[in-house]
Chains A and B, each alone.
Chain A
Amino acid sequence: MLSIILLSVSGLANLFLGFLRSNRLLLPAVLLVLAVVFAVNISGIDTTGPLAAWNASPYFNGMLIFDRYAQVFTAVVVLTTLLLLPFSHKYVREGNPNLAEYYSLMLFSLVGAIMMVSYNNLLILFLGIETLSIAMYVLAGSDKNNLRSNEAALKYFLMGSFATGILLFGMALIYGASGTFALDQLGVAARALPTADASLTPMLYIGILLMLIGIGFKISAAPFHFWTPDVYEGAPTIFTGFMSTVVKTAGIAGFFKLLLVAFGDNTMSLWLPTLTAMLVLTLLIGNVGAVAQTNAKRMLAYSSISHAGYLLLALVALRSGNLSSNAIFFYSLAYSVATVAAFAVLKLVHDQRGRDDYEGLNGLARTNPLLSFAMTVAMLSLAGIPLTGGFFGKFYLFAAAAQEGYIGLVIFAVVMSAVGIYYYLRPIIAMYMRSAPEGDNAPVEVGGFQSAVLVLLIAITVLLGVMPGIVEGVLNV
Chain B
Amino acid sequence: MHELSLIESMLSIIREEKAKHGMDRILRVRVVNGALSGAVSDALAFGWECLTQEGDLQGVALEITDAPLKVVCGACGKPFEPEDKHYMPCPACGEILGHTVTSGKELYIEEIEADIPEDGEPATGV
Are A and B part of the same complex? no
Q: Which residues of B pack against A, CB within 8 Å?
A: none
